[in-house]
Amino acid sequence: MRRVRRILKVADLMSSVRPAERRQLTVMLCDMVASTALSLRLDPEELAEVIQAYRQRCAEVIVGQGGIVARHVGDGILAYFGYPRAHENDAERAIRAALGIAKTEWPPVATADMRVHIGIATGVVVVGNLPQGGEDLSAIGSSLNLAARLEALAGPGMVVVSEQTRRLSRGLFDYRDLGQQELKGFDQPVPAWEVIGERRVRSRFHALRAPALTPLVDRQPEQEELRRLWESVRAGHGQALLLSSEPGVGKSRLAEVLAKRIVDPGCLRLWYHCSPNLQGSPLAPLIRQLTLAAAFSEGDDDDSKLRKIATLIPNGAPDAAEIVPLLADLLSVRYRSKYPPLTMSPQRQKHQLFQVLMRLLEGLPDRGSVLLVVEDLHWIDPSSDELIGTLIDRLRGLPILAVLTARPEFQSHWDEKTHLHHMVLSPLERRDSITMIELVCGDRKIPESTISQIAEKTDGLPLFIEDLTRDVLESADLREGENGAAKRGDSFFTIPTTLNDSLMSRLDRLGSAKTVAEIGAVIGREFSYELLAKLVDLPEEQLREELYRLVDAGLLVGGRSTAVLSYAFKHALVRDAAYSSLLKKKQVSLHSRIARVLVEEFPETAESQPEVLAYHFQAANDVDHAVDYLVRAAKLSAKRSGFVEAIAQLENALSVLATQPRSRERMRLELSVHRTLGGINAEYRGFSSEECGLAYTTALELCRELGDAPEIFSVLSGLGSYEITRAGFGKCQAIAEECLSRAAGQQSKPPFIMGHLLLGGTLFLKGELAPARKHLEEAILIYEQDQVARRGKQVLYVQDQKSTGLCYLGLTLTIMGYLDNGLRAAESGLAHSKSLGGLHTINFSLCYLAAVHHIRGDSLSALERATQSLESARELGFATWIGISQMIRGASLVSNGKSEEGLAELGRGMKAHAGMEATAYQPFAMALFAQGLIAAGRLDEALDALSQALTMSEATGELFYASELWRLKGEVLGKNGSLAEAEHCLREGIDMARRQGAKLFELRNAASLCRLLDPLRKQAALRDILAPVHDWFGEVVAAPDVNDARALLAGRTGT
């Protein structure tokens, strides 16, 4: 009657309307062999009876194992395992059902020819009331075709399964490898396996996990507690431990460690386990264990089994004749031919059986201490639960350690005892998770980023860690086989098939709350109640009830962030399972709806978390909005110094656009992405980086293709900055002139500012100081006149235009000899940058101010500002300013008498600057390094560095510091006694400085020349060369170089 009710219940499930969903399904196809011949031999009425009996028997077995009969086609039966409710072991259930059907003794009318053949396959399908299936429950997917082909392959009485099905039930059954089979409809040969029979195993853990155990990670406190309990047991004091945790944390693994590492090697170990499909079968764990202990085999008759049962009873037991019938009856062995029948009531018989079992257990300690393990009590039947309670009551005086494992939902009915202990296992810490991932990988290497993602996905659950890591490794192997070279860890992180059924079973138990979980999963791992309420068509009270069920089931955790009530999936893979069960079109629809609700109802989220909007728009296949929000997200990430994340977001945007047909709209969006990518690379890697140049070059090509889009000015500015940092002065000047030419047709001021800035900066580096000054001052003037600029909003993407102009102007005026004006310009640039708050612009201004101080000869102020600039660049990740700041800082240390420390810092700075592929400022950097070498007395090295710097300066056209290079070279040659060559260098420096209008450098070269010359020629040089340039500065200027020249002219230098 129970079987009939179960079949009717399944029929009700199938008759209800169930929306289609994606899920892993194990499909079984069963067909009668030679049914045509049978139909020819039997009367139609007899045949109908045979078919009816066959179908009824198959349905009983299928439903008994938790499956459903989806369809009858003639004498063929299609069954699903894993729908409408998944179980943790659907593949096992399907195989057990198949074996049960294959071994069925059919009605005599069917004759001996009545045989079946069965095919089973597991895979992802779409299942539900599909439109093309009418009202019937139907599924679509390759696993149905595979099951059909495997059924055709199977001979009479055979059960043939797919590789996926075998993997999910490995260790539980014996198989015969049928090799690679060429199956109709499949491009590649498919492995097939015949199921021989079920293995006798101690537990599911030992069958499925023990053959490939990963070394235990952490769990030291738990192991110490187990050792303490075992020591107590050895002293004769029985102990019981209820070990609980959620699935996958490692209860069985810890019990295995106890058995192998802690208990005495020769002690007796008794292992019982409860089964999800035997919860209604009284004393099922005991029956399984006794069957194994008695070593029953397939061919044993009742007499053989009775003899084996007798061996379980200790020798000399006085009541053996009473015990054997009790155990035989429990094990369904006919015993009345050998023993008198049991005449007591069922309740009395159970009581008597319990007493016998306790006596047998009490006799075991004669062989030493005993370890007794009962696993998976959450699946225990009531009678076994009662038996364990009896055991715990009588355990105290026995040298037995009883370890009982269960999930949190298990509620014991036993009385609390001092010898009953509780241990709750927690998930692993992140560091231990990573250790375990590395152990699973062994010698195999996967990227650290992939290891981190696995750790994040698996939430410290060892079972999840093992299966997901192995899945990633296997995916890498498949790609290596297909592509010839594996990209380790480049995985989509799909849910491992070994976990799919387990995760779905937890969701299927939720009933109507599953829909809420699915919508929450589409939002993300975390979601607010307020947003969920906008998406779920449920009254508030019902929604709160459903959320309570999800929290109570351990799938969600709730909490408040300030005043916002939010929920999160406890495990990422549970969220993934809920999400993947939705049809893709349903996912798309929900993502689109979520995005619209966020934009319309939660504008603060759209502003502060644009990456969330980008994710939903992208998942909704809304490319335009997805790219727009990815660009916004990248800008926000860069603002927070998250440059790696920003670049990844923009590269994602380009990948999304690459899927679209070429059009003006696509090009417009690509332009936006490349402009932003150029700016962020400029901040992160420097304007000189190849990535920055490529982004701006591509952006310019798109501008021209779009017909000179208005964005061309900012693109020209970025590309010009790239060229200037790589000493491409000719290209930069051409870009600046194009910018000014185009600006003539614009009402907007920024294009003029950009053009003048690029031209001014280029001319400065070329040493054309007067025209550089003119363009820089023009840029600043236009900026000041622009109303938008005065509101602090006229800003280039990376650096503010006024700040850029003032910094370059500060250097230009300083070298030209306008020392106070130069310092004032540089300090104004920093003040302006701080007023705007742009971190990159502030760093830029600090660095240039440090350079101005250094060139003026104020080494203490230069050291202070360079240190500030360096610390800021390191903290914020601005690569551009690290090298230059280090070089100026090192030169300042040298000037303050710390030559070795300064040289080391200079070396680090030069390496950092060169590593950015920057060519500009290299001669300047080598000059600073040479000064350090001179201070350290390493004159030959200094001379080599200066010669290289002059060659590079001539080759690139970067001449603003060339007169200083000549001066330093002349001074070194003078120290080496090469006076004629030294004089030549200094006169070259003076001539170059005069041509450039570089009064400060002219003054220095003149002073050095006067020191070099003999007394007679020195007087002429003082009068004709030094005095005129000194007088240009005037008496009011108090600067180290002016003071030094003044002292020379007054004859107080000591030379």
Whether the CB-CB separation of 65 and 31 falls below 8 Å is answered with no
795 vs 174: which has the higher pLDDT: 174
Cα–Cα distance measured from residue 772 to residue 750, given in angstroms and rounded to the nearest whole number: 18
569 vs 708: which has the higher pLDDT: 569
Structure tokens, 737 = 């002139």
Cα–Cα distance measured from residue 1045 to residue 1055, given in angstroms and rounded to the nearest whole number: 13
Give the mean pLDDT of the chain.
86
Name residue 46's amino acid: E
Residue 687: predicted pLDDT: 86
The pLDDT > 70 percentage for the chain reads 91
Whether the CB-CB separation of 388 and 210 falls below 8 Å is answered with no
Please, what is the Cα angle at 842 between 839 and 847, to 5 degrees?
125
Residue 489: predicted pLDDT: 35
Using CA of residue 581, residue 585, residue 586, residue 587, what is the dihedral sign?
positive
Using CA of residue 622, residue 625, residue 628, residue 632, what is the dihedral sign?
negative
Pick from 27-31, 239-243, 363-367, 626-630: least confident: 363-367
Task: Calculate the CA dihedral of residues 805, 808, 812, 818 and round it to 10 degrees.
Answer: 70
Pick from 391-400, 783-792, 798-807: least confident: 783-792
Residue 417: predicted pLDDT: 85
Q: Where are the alpha helices (DSSP H) in 726-768?
A: 729-743, 750-766
Cα–Cα distance measured from residue 1012 to residue 974, given in angstroms and rounded to the nearest whole number: 7
Cα–Cα distance measured from residue 84 to residue 78, given in angstroms and rounded to the nearest whole number: 14
For residue 84, cis peptide bond before it (omega within 30 degrees of 0): yes
Q: Is the pLDDT of residue 708 over 80?
A: no
Pick from 200-204, 207-211, 674-678: least confident: 207-211
Query: 358: Cβ–Cβ under 8 A, 6 or more apart, which residues?
Result: 390, 391, 394
Query: 680: Cβ–Cβ under 8 A, 6 or more apart, which residues?
Result: 634, 635, 638, 643, 646, 647, 650
pLDDT tens digits along 7-43: 444 444 444 556 788 889 999 999 988 777 777 777 7
**For residue 270, which of 174, 173, 408, 365 has the smallest C-alpha distance?**
365
Taking residues 853-865, what's their average pLDDT?
A: 94
Query: 115: Cβ–Cβ under 8 A, 6 or more apart, which residues?
Result: 32, 33, 34, 156, 157
Residue 959: predicted pLDDT: 95
Residue 1048: predicted pLDDT: 92
Report the CATH number of the 205-424 domain: 3.40.50
Cα–Cα distance measured from residue 140 to residue 22, given in angstroms and rounded to the nearest whole number: 10
Taking residues 71-98, what's their average pLDDT?
A: 90
Structure tokens, 502 = 């387990």
Taking residues 276-305, what's their average pLDDT?
A: 84
Residue 212: predicted pLDDT: 63
Specify the 3-state DSSP secondary structure of 1050: coil
Cα–Cα distance measured from residue 526 to residue 561, given in angstroms and rounded to the nearest whole number: 12
What DSSP character marks residue 571? S
Q: Is the pLDDT of residue 436 over 90?
A: no
Q: Is the pLDDT of residue 476 over 70?
A: no
For residue 346, cis peptide bond before it (omega within 30 degrees of 0): no
- CB count in 10 Å sphere of residue 127: 25
454 vs 772: which has the higher pLDDT: 772
What DSSP character marks residue 800? B
Cα–Cα distance measured from residue 202 to residue 198, given in angstroms and rounded to the nearest whole number: 12
Place of tokens 């999910």: 168
Residue 204: predicted pLDDT: 62
Pick from 129-143, 299-313, 877-891: least confident: 129-143
502 vs 590: which has the higher pLDDT: 590
The full set of domain ranges for the chain reads 2-198, 205-424, 964-1055
Residue 243: predicted pLDDT: 93
Whether the CB-CB separation of 336 and 324 falls below 8 Å is answered with no
Q: pTM surpassing 0.85?
A: no
Cα–Cα distance measured from residue 44 to residue 753, given in angstroms and rounded to the nearest whole number: 97
Q: Is the pLDDT of residue 790 over 70?
A: no
Taking residues 191-213, what's their average pLDDT?
A: 74
Structure tokens, 1042 = 């002016």
Structure tokens, 164 = 């996926």
pLDDT tens digits along 711-766: 888 899 899 989 998 889 999 999 989 888 888 877 778 888 889 999 999 999 99
Query: 801: Cβ–Cβ under 8 A, 6 or more apart, which residues?
Result: 750, 753, 754, 757, 779, 783, 789, 794, 795
Whether the CB-CB separation of 160 and 192 falls below 8 Å is answered with yes
Residue 552: predicted pLDDT: 87
pLDDT category at 880 given cuts 50, 70, 90 is confident
pLDDT category at 488 given cuts 50, 70, 90 is very low
Q: Where are the alpha helices (DSSP H) in 258-363?
A: 284-294, 302-311, 320-330, 346-363
pLDDT tens digits along 580-639: 889 999 999 999 999 999 999 999 888 999 999 999 999 999 999 999 999 999 999 988
Q: How far is CA 601 from the centre of its chain?
A: 30
pLDDT category at 487 given cuts 50, 70, 90 is very low
The pLDDT > 90 percentage for the chain reads 49
Identify the H or E element spanning 983: helix 979-996
Report the CATH number of the 2-198 domain: 3.30.70.1230
C-alpha count within 13 angstroms, C-beta hemisphere, residue 805: 27
Name residue 1048's amino acid: L
How far apart are the two ends of the chain, measured CA to CA in Å? 121
